[in-house]
Structure 1
Amino acid sequence: MKQQLGGRTSAHGGVDTTPRRSGRAGAPTRPDEFWDAAPMRAAAAERHFGQLLREYRRASNVGQAEVAQWLGVSQGQISRIERDRSQVHDLDKLERWAKALKIPQRLLWFQLSGSRQTEFAGGEGGFNALRTVSRPDDQVGLGMRQLFRWLGNEATEEPEAPTENVFRAAAESYLRGGWYAFDEGEVALGSQRMRIALNLSRRSGEQALSAEILAALSFQSLFHGTLESAVPVIRMAEQAAEKTGLTLLRVEVASMAASCYAMMGDRDTCLQVLRKAEKSLETVNSSEPTDRLYLASGCALSFRFLGWPREAEGFARTAVKLSERWPGVRLCTRTLLASALADQRKVEEACATTSQVVPRVAPIRPVRDQVCLTSVVRRLSKYGDDISVRTLYSQLAGVGVAVPRIG
């Protein structure tokens, strides 16, 4: 029997915690505490709208019929979305549903139109509080101060004590700043910012974010040729990702770990890590392109390091197809394919593949792009008499990539 509580009833006989909607149609606005609860963040981290929707209903104590009205679908559709293991890929639907439920951008794996790229929990107070935890920027330099201004942090008031949300927001900012520094070739500065991010994420209690930062640190160590420092960090990242229980995060970290083991020549551990990641994706039946892109790229890079260019080519082609929606990684996946082709003496195709992603005018600035292109240049150097290599070298030299002189 339902219990009456001040005119509001609860089906489970307790207090009905569902916020009032003040007579307006649609989902009510939930407080930050609702969205920042650990189960909600864990559901969002799986990047599966059905899981996020199911946790939303559980936490807010609402039925499928009511949510169906808010989203403009049938109750049967809500049931199917929650049960279906496959992802919803229609971005228009995802955006419409997310806005209907008033899900904050920080929980979403896709960008809402009209929202800023980075959103911090806690509203404007979060921006004010960032000044408290961004003081280490005095030791980091002007770059982070510019970054905070770009994020909109113009307030001057500071809270007495930063919240966990603020530590997490600051950690994400320093992580972003670390990537910026690496892309500008400032390796030491990038590493310093990421280590600050790691300390802040640990203070926030965000294991998933800590694992992501550790993976980023190991990736940068690997990318810049310091394997001895990459291996212990990637092992810490693997342990941290395992503790979160988030399958897709484990796959992302495993893809980087496999490359480290391949560079060490540890073939057995590399293959073991990749097989485990593949089984994890099969378990959640993920069809999300980004998840498969991580694994395909990790396999291609690992097999290239192991000296298996044919296998590397197959996975690199898969990565190229999956990266078409993301211009920012297209150059990396195509040069990965070109390297595998060059290692098999498929010179003309390697040159054509690389040429497709070389910009026509502006110099290439991100160091990651420079390193990717330089790797192809090095592999093609033995074929300097080939006209396709000469043409590509001329194109690369025009955008600032160092190429060997051909007599």
Structure 2
Amino acid sequence: MDANRPVRYCRCGTRLARDNRVGQCAPCQTKAREFVTRPPELPGDFWDTDQFRDAFAAQHIGRVSRAYRKHPQHIAVYGKDGVPQSVVAGWLGLTQAQISRIESGAAVRHLDSLTHWARTLQIPEHLLWFRLPAESPSNDDARTADATRAAVPQQATPSPFLLQAPSFGLPLGDSNGYVSAMQSFRAADRQVGGCHLYATVLQYLQAEVAPCMFGVDHSSDGRLAFTAAAALTEMAGWMAHDAGRDQAAEQHFARSLDLGKLGNDRQLGMHILASMSHLAHYQGKPAAAIQYARRGSEALTHGPRLPELEARLLAMQARGYAALRRPAKCTQLLIEAERVLEAEPAEKRSPWISHFDEGSLANEAARCLRQLGDLGQAERQAERVIELRPGDRTRSRAFGQLILATVLIAQGRPDEACAVAQEVLDATQQLGSYLVVQQLLDLKRSLEPHRGTRVVAEFLSCLDEALRHRVWLYQWLAQDGRSDGTALGERR
């Protein structure tokens, strides 16, 4: 039967092996992987087009970007739209929306920004309308490395998750393979946290998913690659958030939303909007968080009903109204989310989105009620989270316990809060979660006024020791220009 199969060729003309599921030869796969992270090397005559001449004459880097993306050479390889804006955004450390605004808006005048674009896209200097600053040797990299080493205890053993890519042995371009990888990452993340896994997910995206995204048509297989990339990029956003890197998380979420539009999963886009809403809450932007969640809820009305996704979006809106001190609206949305969650789904839940169950809703309700000052109900909801989260759900169980501890302190029960928090310390010794460490620091500040009691004093001593052992997490802070322990508590 194999002898009757038609011979297949890569776009470059190389005959493909019969077991090649990607549709690209090995050299082209390598180029595709590199293409996601940095621009390709280009011949000198690449810049010799009328579109480039007009863009340079207009002194508009956005028009240069558009001419670059839609260059005939790129259209021949990547299709009629050329290089996607989301890919250029990745090269420059921006979002797709920012690229779109720069391409269609007023000309950028800031020299640092223009220099960054010119060097990233490797624009020949003689074509530019501005002078590139001289590149002089510096010790910045050495200082950064020294700061990172100083932030990490010398006796600490590097996590194996950061040293190697996952060896799942998964076939490229295969739906079951992508979903299996997603489930494996998700299961590990629940136990060890995003700090340990973030780099590994990025490596998997580059090595396993990226080669399938480019050089293929928008058939079902092509859309599958973009769907997998969107889902895994959204997961990378959560892991970046859990590692305290919210700017990176915001960029991941924005890019995953763009990638999802090229995929074939209706639910995934609304799931990503819920994630963007969560991050906006954490950044202290309740109005933006409500808007993201509303967008998701409105999109849900145009297809079959999925109660758990609908409930999650309602809960995100409720958190926004709690932050805005609108208890009636918040309570109404939480009650509606509880009712919706009991409904039967009209379609199967997508494998690309995470569960939102009773425990998830209880966690969101506890956050809202604590913020609104309804400590009795907040305590009951936090206890519900702990009841529904088994020991292997280390991080989410810890979040419920820490909410309960803060409620107990507010109720004048600091000794009980210390007992709950001690359970968190014992269970999260191997958990790489900046968010948990941050909440422990918040808890420490709340307990300080009660240090006069023996139980609290003894626990604070244990907490200080535990936080010193987890200082390796500060390496993320060093990269963002914050290397002192107090910085952990500044973001809320």
Alpha-carbon distance between aligned partners in 1 of 2:235 and 2:204, rounded to the nearest angstrom: 9
Alpha-carbon distance between aligned partners in 2 of 1:154 and 1:229, rounded to the nearest angstrom: 31
SS of match in other structure, 2:425:
coil
How far residue 243 of structure 1 moved from its aligned partner, in angstroms, is 3.9
Partner residue, 1:261: 321
Partner residue, 2:174: 122
Alpha-carbon distance between aligned partners in 1 of 2:377 and 2:202, rounded to the nearest angstrom: 45
Matched, 1:321 2:387: yes
Matched, 1:394 2:446: no
Alpha-carbon distance between aligned partners in 1 of 2:231 and 2:170, rounded to the nearest angstrom: 9
Aligned length: 272
- Where do 1:196-215 residues align within 5 Å? 196-215=255-274
Which of the numbers 216, 220, 245 marks the counterpart of 1:160? Answer: 216
Percent identical pairs in the alignment equals: 24
Which of the numbers 202, 205, 220 marks the counterpart of 1:148? Answer: 205
- Where do 1:53-64 residues align within 5 Å? none
Change (3 A) 1:373 1:142: closer
Partner residue, 2:10: none
- Where do 1:230-379 residues align within 5 Å? 230-244=289-303, 245-284=305-344, 291-324=357-390, 325-359=392-426, 365-379=432-446
Q: Which amino acid in structure 2 is aligned with residue 171 of structure 1?
A: A
Change (3 A) 1:392 1:318: same
* Contact 1:147–1:177, Cα closer than 8 Å, also in 2: no
Q: Which amino acid in structure 2 is aligned with residue 273 of structure 1?
A: L
SS of match in other structure, 1:284:
coil
TM-score of the two chains, using structure 1 as the length reference:
0.59
Q: Which amino acid in structure 2 is aligned with residue 220 of structure 1?
A: L
Partner residue, 2:448: 381
Q: Which amino acid in structure 2 is aligned with residue 196 of structure 1?
A: R
The answer to which structure, 1 or 2, has the higher relative contact order (CA under 8 A, 6+ apart) is 2
Q: Which amino acid in structure 1 is aligned with residue 257 of structure 2?
A: L
Change (3 A) 1:261 1:121: farther
Change (3 A) 1:239 1:387: farther
SS of match in other structure, 1:385:
coil
User: Deviation digits for residues 355-393 of structure 1, max 9, x if unmatched?
Assistant: 101148958642221233233223323212122222222
Q: Which amino acid in structure 1 is aligned with residue 452 of structure 2?
A: D
Change (3 A) 1:284 1:153: closer
Change (3 A) 1:120 1:152: closer
Uncovered stretches (5+) of structure 2, i.e. residues with no partner: 1-166, 180-197, 346-354, 469-484, 487-492
Pairwise CA RMSD of aligned residues? 3.4
- Where do 1:13-24 residues align within 5 Å? none
TM-score of the two chains, using structure 2 as the length reference:
0.49
Change (3 A) 1:310 1:361: closer
* Contact 1:364–1:399, Cα closer than 8 Å, also in 2: no
Alpha-carbon distance between aligned partners in 1 of 2:226 and 2:460, rounded to the nearest angstrom: 47
- Where do 1:163-202 residues align within 5 Å? 163-202=222-261
Alpha-carbon distance between aligned partners in 2 of 1:202 and 1:261, rounded to the nearest angstrom: 29
User: Deviation digits for residues 296-331 of structure 1, max 9, x if unmatched?
Assistant: 112111100111111100111011110125223111
Alpha-carbon distance between aligned partners in 2 of 1:268 and 1:119, rounded to the nearest angstrom: 51
How far residue 144 of structure 1 moved from its aligned partner, in angstroms, is 6.2
SS of match in other structure, 2:357:
helix
SS of match in other structure, 1:160:
coil
Alpha-carbon distance between aligned partners in 2 of 1:117 and 1:359, rounded to the nearest angstrom: 34
Change (3 A) 1:235 1:208: same
Uncovered stretches (5+) of structure 1, i.e. residues with no partner: 1-114, 128-140
* Contact 2:213–2:225, Cα closer than 8 Å, also in 1: no
Change (3 A) 1:256 1:361: closer
* Contact 2:238–2:249, Cα closer than 8 Å, also in 1: yes
